[in-house]
Structure 1
Amino acid sequence: LLTLLSLKRDTDNQKLLTKWRSPAAVPDRCQGIEMDAVTVNEDGIPYFFHSGFLFKGFHGAAERANETFTELDEHQHLGHVDAAFRLHYEDHPTEHNNIIFFLDTQIFSYYQHKLEGGYPKNISEVYPGIPDHLDAAVECPKPECEEDSVIFFKGDEIFHFNFKTKAVEMKEFTSMPNCTSAFRFMEHYYCFHGHNFSKFDPKTGEVHGRYPKEARDFFMRCSKFSHDHVERERCSRAHLDAITADNEGDMFAFRGQSFICALTVPGGFGGLFRIKHLIESKFIYRTSHFTARFQDEHVFAYRVGENHTLLDGYPKTVKEELGIEGPIDSAFSCDEHQHVHVVKGQLMYDVDMAASERNATNERSIMFPSDAAMCGPRGVTLVKGNHFYHFDTLKLLFSRAVPERHQVSLELFGCDH
C-alpha cells in the first residue's frame, strides 16, 4: 500500500511538472496577470516574475526563471517566487547590488545571476523578525528611508527592516492596498495588486494622485492593448498632468506616461506617444532656450533641440528654481519667454527667469486653481478636471467674468463625448 501511495504521489508530481512546463502554461503579460515579484537587475532592467516564469524589461515573451537563476531549479516545485528586491547597502560592498529572492521560508542571494556561497538560508537567519511566506519586498535606501532598509509586506502587515541595527519596525500603510509585489524604479515606489499598481511614499505609505492605475499602461508594451489604450487615453475624462504649446500653436498634453499631441485644427488629433521613462510631470513651461517639467518637488530643465538633454545643475527644488515654496499647481510662460507665471491655489505669481536671484512676485487672485495651464498665440488656457477655460489675454484671468466652459476630450482631442 505504501509503495502504491508513493507511486501515485510521484505520478501526481510528474503531472504537475509536465503541466507547468507545457507551452500552454507560459503566461502572457498582456492578459492582465498578477506578478508574484518585481525587481531590477544590476543594470537597472526590470524583472517581472510570475508562476516560475520571468519577463525581462517592459516587453517580450516569458522565459523560465531558472534559465537565468539556475539554482532555483531545485525548488521548481514551488512554481513561484514570493518576493524579490535588489539590495542597496553601500556600507557593505560585498552585498550591495545583490538580487534577493524569497521562496516560502528561504532566501536566495544572487550576484550577477550566480548564487552566493552558503545560500539558500532561512529567512529568520538573515532577516530576524521578518515572517515567512511573504507577499512582497522592496529596498529603501537612505535618504528615501531614514537608513538603508527593506520594506516587507505580508497581508496588511508592513515591516521596515533596518540593515544597520537589524531592528524591525511595524508600520501601518492605511491608504494603500495589500501588495502582491513591490518595486522601486527611478527613485519611486510602486505597490502592485492584481494587474493594477499604486505609487506610494515608502516612509508613510501615503498614495498621492489618482490611483490605482493599470500596469499595462505604464510597465508593459502590449500592441493590442496599446492600440486600445490610445482611444481610451485620448478620450479619458481623467485630469491632465500638464499642457503646453509651441510657437506654431500646436498643443502637447501630458497624462501619466502618455504624451498626447493635440493639434490646433478643430477636432484635430496628432497622435498619442509614450514618454521614454515613467514620469508624472505636474506641469511644464517653456522659454526660448529650455523646456522645464516638474516632478514632485523638483524641476527638470532640458535644452531645446532635437535631443532634449538635461541642463547642468538639474534637477533643482521648486524653491531654488522659482523662489516659491512648493507644492504649486501649474506654471506657464507666454510670448515674452522671460517670465514664468506660477499658479498656487487661487493665487498667481510672476518669476523673472533672467534674474540672478529668482523670486515669486506680483501676487494676484485668479478665478480658480488649475490642474494645468498654457499660454499660446490665441491666449491662456486653464485646465481643471475634464474642462478647460480660454482667456484671450493674460489680464482676463483676473477679471470677474467667468468664460465659457469647454470639454477637454471633446474639443481638444476630437472625441465624441
Structure 2
Amino acid sequence: MKLLAHILCLSLALAMGWADSHHEHTHEAEPDRCKGLEMDAAVTCVLGGAFFFSHDHLFKGFHGKAELSNESFPGLDDHHHHVDAAFLMHYEDEPTEHKRVFLFLDDKVFSYHEHKLEDGYPKAISEVFPGIPDHLDAAVECPKPECDEDSVIFFKGDDIYHYTVKTKAVEEKEFTSMPNCTSALRFMEHYYCFHGHMFSKFDPKTGEVHGKYPKEARDYFMRCSKFSEDSDHVERERCSRVHLDAITTDDAGNMYAFRGHHFIEKEEGNDTLKADTIESDFKELHSEVDAVFTYESHLYMIKDEEVFVYKIGEPHTLLDGYPKPVKEELGIEGPIDAAFMCGDHHIAHIIKGDHIFDVDMKASPHTASDERPIALFKKVDAAMCGAGGVKVIVGSHFYHFDSPMLLVAGKALPEQHRVSMELFGCDH
C-alpha cells in the first residue's frame, strides 16, 4: 500500500561530512535554515518529503531545527564534513527493498538502505558510477519517462552528466539556461536546482527554465516567519511545497488555510486569494495553528492545549472567555492533528494520530466519544469537509472521501491530488 506521508519517514536522517580521522572533530555552529544559507545537498525520502544538508547538519522536512548527522547515523562518526551531493535510487524496475540513498563526499560515495550503510561502502565514485567525476556539486534521480531511461543527473560546475542506470552510459550535456547548482531535488515530479538560497525549476532533459525564476527557496521549501521584501505572499502560499497545518471552509464556502506564520483565504466562487500573517487577522494566536473547524459562523482554532474561537467576519473577533483549554472545550486532551465538521451537522470530528473522535457540539458538556482507528494514515496534517465530502491532507497532497464513515472504513488510498494545484490553483 502506497502511503505518501512524509511524516512516516521523518526518522530518516541523512547527513555527513569529512574530517581528519586522526584529530578530534569540532562540530560547526548549528545552521539556521531561515538565514538564507546555502544548502550543500538535498534528497527526497523514500515515502515522500525532502531533506536538506548543510555542513555536518541535516534539516528534516520544511521546518524545524538542524540536527547533527552523527546523531542519526553513528556509523559516520569518522566523516563529518559537508555532503557534496545526494539522490534517491528508486525506480520501477528496482525492488522496494533496494531503495537506496546515495551520498557523495569528495571522491567517495556512501550507499544507505533503511538508515544503514551498505556493506563495502564507502567506495570510490569511479567504481560505482564510472565516468562521473569527483567533488560533485549536485545530483538528482530522473526516472523514465521524465528522462528517456532511468537516469541520474550529476552536476559539477558548468558540466552536466546524464548517467543511465542500466547501461552505465554517460552523456555530457549543456544546460545553458540554468545557473550552476549547489544542490538539486526531484519533488512531486518536478526538478529544482538550488543555487545559494535561490532556486529554479528546470526540465531534466534540456535544462530549460520556464517562468519567473530564480525564486527565494525559503518562500517555497522552508517554513520561516519572515521573508525577503520582494516576496509575493500570495504566490508563495499558493505554490508552497510546505504542508498545511490546518484548513476549513465557512458556511459560505470560503476557505481558510494555515501554514506556519501565514494563512490563505479563498473566496467561494472565484480564484481570489488573500495571504497574510496569522497575527494580522488573529492577533491572539500569533502563528502555528494545529487544527481548525467551523461551527455556527465561528472558527474554532486549536493551538497546543488551547482553543480560540473567532467570529467570522472583518475583523475576526475573539469571543470573550477564550482561549480555553482543549480538554474543557472539546472533552479531549491535546494536542490535536486535525479537525473538521461536515455541513450543518453538529458533530466535530477530531483526529489525533491514527484515531478519530466525535464531539457533539450541541451536548453539554462536550465530550469526545466513538473513538475509531484510521487504517490509511498514521498522521494527518489537516482535514476539511464540505458538500463534496472530506479532504484529508498529508504532506503536499490530499485524498478525497465521500464521508467521514468512508474515511474510517477505507482500506486503500483513493486518488492522490496536489494541494498547491487543485486547492489553490498554482500552475507550476
Shift of the alpha carbon at 1:305? 8.7
CA distance in 2, matches of 1:114, 1:72: 10
**Structure 2 residue corresponding to 1:185, chosen from 164, 184, 187:** 187
- Higher RCO (CA 8 Å, separation ≥ 6 residues): 2
Letter matched to residue 41 of structure 1: C
The SS at the match of 2:127 is: helix
CA distance in 1, matches of 2:31, 2:187: 23
The SS at the match of 2:79 is: helix
The SS at the match of 1:44 is: coil
**Structure 2 residue corresponding to 1:124, chosen from 117, 126, 131:** 126
* Structure in which a larger fraction of residues adopt helix: 1
**Structure 2 residue corresponding to 1:21, chosen from 15, 24, 27:** 27
Q: What's the counterpart of residue 83 of structure 2?
A: 81
Label 1:60 to 1:17 Cα distance change in 2 as closer, same or farther (>3 A): farther
Contact kept, 8 Å, 1:88 with 1:140, in 2: the verdict is no
Label 1:249 to 1:38 Cα distance change in 2 as closer, same or farther (>3 A): closer
Label 1:304 to 1:91 Cα distance change in 2 as closer, same or farther (>3 A): closer
CA distance in 1, matches of 2:135, 2:86: 12
For 1:156-305, list aligned pairs within 5 A: 156-222=158-224, 224-225=225-226, 232-234=231-233, 248=252, 260-261=264-265, 271=276, 289=388
Letter matched to residue 130 of structure 2: P
CA distance in 1, matches of 2:179, 2:132: 20
Contact kept, 8 Å, 1:159 with 1:169, in 2: the verdict is yes
Contact kept, 8 Å, 2:38 with 2:195, in 1: the verdict is yes
Shift of the alpha carbon at 1:111? 0.6
Structure 1 unaligned runs (5+)? 1-11, 277-286, 292-299, 317-329, 332-371, 373-417
Contact kept, 8 Å, 1:301 with 1:315, in 2: the verdict is yes
Q: Quick check: which has more Rg, 1 or 2?
A: 1
CA distance in 2, matches of 1:56, 1:290: 32
Q: What's the counterpart of residue 35 of structure 2?
A: 31
Q: What's the counterpart of residue 105 of structure 1?
A: 107
CA shift digits 1:213-253 (9 cap, x unpaired): 1111111112x32xx5799534x799x88xxx999596999
Q: What's the counterpart of residue 145 of structure 1?
A: 147
CA distance in 2, matches of 1:44, 1:73: 27
CA distance in 1, matches of 2:102, 2:127: 14
Shift of the alpha carbon at 1:33? 0.4
Contact kept, 8 Å, 1:30 with 1:220, in 2: the verdict is yes
CA distance in 2, matches of 1:219, 1:91: 30
CA distance in 1, matches of 2:179, 2:230: 28
Letter matched to residue 117 of structure 2: L
Letter matched to residue 33 of structure 1: L
Label 1:69 to 1:262 Cα distance change in 2 as closer, same or farther (>3 A): same
Q: What's the counterpart of residue 136 of structure 2?
A: 134
Contact kept, 8 Å, 1:42 with 1:112, in 2: the verdict is no
Contact kept, 8 Å, 1:149 with 1:161, in 2: the verdict is yes
Label 1:151 to 1:55 Cα distance change in 2 as closer, same or farther (>3 A): same
Label 1:87 to 1:230 Cα distance change in 2 as closer, same or farther (>3 A): same
The SS at the match of 1:216 is: helix
Contact kept, 8 Å, 2:219 with 2:231, in 1: the verdict is no
Shift of the alpha carbon at 1:149? 0.7
Label 1:248 to 1:37 Cα distance change in 2 as closer, same or farther (>3 A): same
Label 1:237 to 1:198 Cα distance change in 2 as closer, same or farther (>3 A): closer
For 1:315-330, list aligned pairs within 5 A: none
Shift of the alpha carbon at 1:303? 7.2
Letter matched to residue 106 of structure 1: K
The SS at the match of 1:59 is: coil
2:59 equivalent to 1:55: yes
The SS at the match of 1:261 is: strand
Contact kept, 8 Å, 1:151 with 1:161, in 2: the verdict is yes
Shift of the alpha carbon at 1:63? 1.4
CA shift digits 1:362-416 (9 cap, x unpaired): xxxxxxxxxx9xxxxxxxxxxxxxxxxxxxxxxxxxxxxxxxxxxxxxxxxxxxx
Q: What's the counterpart of residue 329 of structure 2?
A: none
Q: What's the counterpart of residue 70 of structure 1?
A: 74
Label 1:204 to 1:305 Cα distance change in 2 as closer, same or farther (>3 A): farther
Contact kept, 8 Å, 2:98 with 2:113, in 1: the verdict is no
Shift of the alpha carbon at 1:62? 1.1
CA distance in 2, matches of 1:250, 1:111: 45
CA shift digits 1:147-170 (9 cap, x unpaired): 111000000111010011110011
CA distance in 2, matches of 1:189, 1:263: 31
Shift of the alpha carbon at 1:212? 1.0
Shift of the alpha carbon at 1:45? 3.3
Q: What's the counterpart of residue 44 of structure 2?
A: 40
Shift of the alpha carbon at 1:65? 1.3
**Across the two proteins, how many residue pairs are aligned to each other?**
279
TM-score, normalised relative to structure 1 = 0.54
The SS at the match of 2:77 is: helix
CA distance in 2, matches of 1:155, 1:95: 34
Cα RMSD after superposing both structures? 4.8
CA distance in 2, matches of 1:108, 1:51: 16
Label 1:64 to 1:252 Cα distance change in 2 as closer, same or farther (>3 A): closer
Label 1:42 to 1:237 Cα distance change in 2 as closer, same or farther (>3 A): closer
Shift of the alpha carbon at 1:90? 4.0
The SS at the match of 2:51 is: strand
Q: What's the counterpart of residue 336 of structure 1?
A: none
CA distance in 1, matches of 2:158, 2:43: 21
